[in-house]
Every structure is written in C-alpha cells, then in structure tokens.
Structure 1
C-alpha cells in the first residue's frame, strides 16, 4: 500500500483558501487540473509501498503527544507540473515543531517545502503539459491553525484521480 504521513488544515483554513483560489481562475484554465479541497494537506514524509500496520505503530510511538505547530497558508509556488500554496509556521518554536514532525515521519527537514498542492499540470495524450505557466498571483495570508493530529494516509491512483484514505490518526500535543 502506498503511504504518506501528513497534516490536514482546519475547515476554516480550507474555506478561506477555497475563496482565494477561486479568484485565481484555475477552474477555467485548461493547462491546470485543480485538486479537490478534501485532498489539501501538508505531506511530512512519503513512505511509498509499505506495510500500514507497522507504519501505524511507528506513528503511534513517535507522534503521540508531539508538539503541534501553529501554521497558516501564505503565498504560492510551483514545482514542475505542480502549483501550490505555501505553509508557514507562526514562529521559531512552531518551525522547530514542524521540522521535528518531518524528521520523526522519516522526511528531511532541509529539503522540506511545506505546502498544499492546489493544481497539477493537465495532461494531453498521457503527457504532462510542462510549458503551462502557473498562475502569477500570491494568495493572502490565511487564518492560523494548529493541527490536532497527524495522519498516516494511503494513496490510491484511480481513473478519476488520486484517492486518499486515512489509515491511522494520532493526536498531537499543544505547542
């Protein structure tokens, strides 16, 4: 099973970001495929094919009660074929808490770019359109949120797109 560990934004963050993203016109741009808001998350580490029971036990060991960072969405960026909203911590202690979660999940904080994927480049004849420019608009800073849990999630590719299913949830502590 393909697995990753992630944080999900609060419903208030999703609502605010949805309104800001709608103004970008991604739904009307044939070069981009917006992702559903239900899939917006901050990936801490991608595990690839792995055994969910073992990963869930590990998640329980390292994440239970770990400090939860306070975060907000601010700005945009892109990777090849991906348009995203940036995620920033409230202060140094929150940056440290986020880096610790990345490390504990098996990620590399030095290479970690906290973000929510908003859209992927469209495909024509099975090939990604790489020359499509990403929207050139910064998103305003959104509301702060503190995730209450970290999730182990399965990722399944289907004809209609990716399907994410939480496999295990572990409560985080306060900041």
Structure 2
C-alpha cells in the first residue's frame, strides 16, 4: 500500500494556491495533468509499499512522533520539480520545526530520497510533446517537458500563500489512477494531533 504522512493546508491556503495556478495552467495547456485541489496535501514522508497489516503500528508511531512536536505556522511558498515529471509547491513559515518533525522516522522505511516537504500540483501528461530524436553528431535537443516545468517553476518561484496553523498530521493511502483525470485518489486513514493534545 502506498502511504503518506501529510499536513493538510487550510481551505484558504488551498483556494489561494488554486487561483495562483490559473495562469500557469493556461500556459501549460494539456501538457500537464493537474491534481485535484481537494486531494492536495503537504507530503512529509512517503512509504511506497507498506503492508496493510502494518497500518495500526505505523499509525501509533506517527502519533508518538507528532506528540513531541508543537503545532506550527506554515505557508505554501515557492516551487520546484522532481526530475522532468513533477511540479510541486514548497513550504515556508516555521520550517525549523517542520524539519525537526521530518527528521523523525514517521512511517518506517519511507522513501528518504524526496525528504522535502512539498505539495504536488501537476505531473507531465501523456499529451506533452516529446523531444525530437537526436541525429548522429548533433547536440541533444532540449526536452520540452523539462522546459515546460522550468518555466512553471520560474513563474511560481515568488509565490507566497497565506499562513495557517498546522495542528495535526494525516496518514493517507494513495490509489493510483482512481482520482480525477486518471490521477491518484488519496484516502485519509486517520489523523493525529501535533503536540499530543
């Protein structure tokens, strides 16, 4: 089972981001597949293959870690990309506290390569243009997907959303291909309070 530990931004923060993405969506056309704002979350840790039987213990571990970290004030801020496939929005605010929380073993065996708090907003779609074939002796042509994502990251680099108080963590499972436009559908398995209150 694909499992995430996440913080859900406030409805106002998500609405603000959704509005801020309008121009980038228009520029990208069908080359990017946009996530469903109702499914957006700030990913803290990801476990790509957690056995279903391990969910109760994982939930207990997440609750234990959350109890030792106070609520924090966060804001969606800036942007980046993973490879030439995924566009994400970063986070600002109480980042030292967030970094300390992410230093915990939140899920056990999670993918630590992408240990950066992020909110995935889009992925390169199957309709995106492909790089033309390189002819012998020629330089590799630019990858249109890389250029598209670089342009989106540049446009969103100055983005700063409204602050909100993060007071709980969510444990979510991800079901690929079951969401809007063939994207993932996220199911909340449970929530735990920060600070143990």
TM-score (norm: length of structure 2): 0.74
Q: Which ranges in structure 1 are unaligned for 5 or more consecutive residues?
A: none
User: Which blocks of at least 5 consecutive residues in structure 2 are unaligned?
Assistant: 132-142
Cα pair distance change 1:154/1:111, threshold 3 Å: closer
1:118-139 CA distances to partner (integer Å, 9 max, x unpaired)?
11000259xx986321224125
Query: What secondary structure sits across from 1:123 in the alignment?
Result: coil
The answer for the alignment partner of 2:46 in structure 1 is 46
Higher CA-based Rg: 2
1:17 aligns with 2:21: no
Tell me how many residue pairs correspond in the alignment.
169
Matches within 5 A, 1:1-175: 1-26=1-26, 29-50=29-50, 51-64=54-67, 66-80=69-83, 81-89=85-93, 94-104=94-104, 105=106, 112-124=115-127, 131-132=144-145, 133-134=148-149, 135=152, 136-138=154-156, 139-158=158-177, 160-173=182-195
Give the alignment's Cα RMSD to 1 decimal. Answer: 2.8
Higher helix share: 2
Provide the secondary structure at the position in 1 that maps to 2:101. Answer: helix
- The TM-score, its normalising length taken from structure 1, stands at 0.83
Post-superposition CA distance 1:49-99 (Å, at most 9, x none): 22211111111222136212211112222122011222112xxxx222101
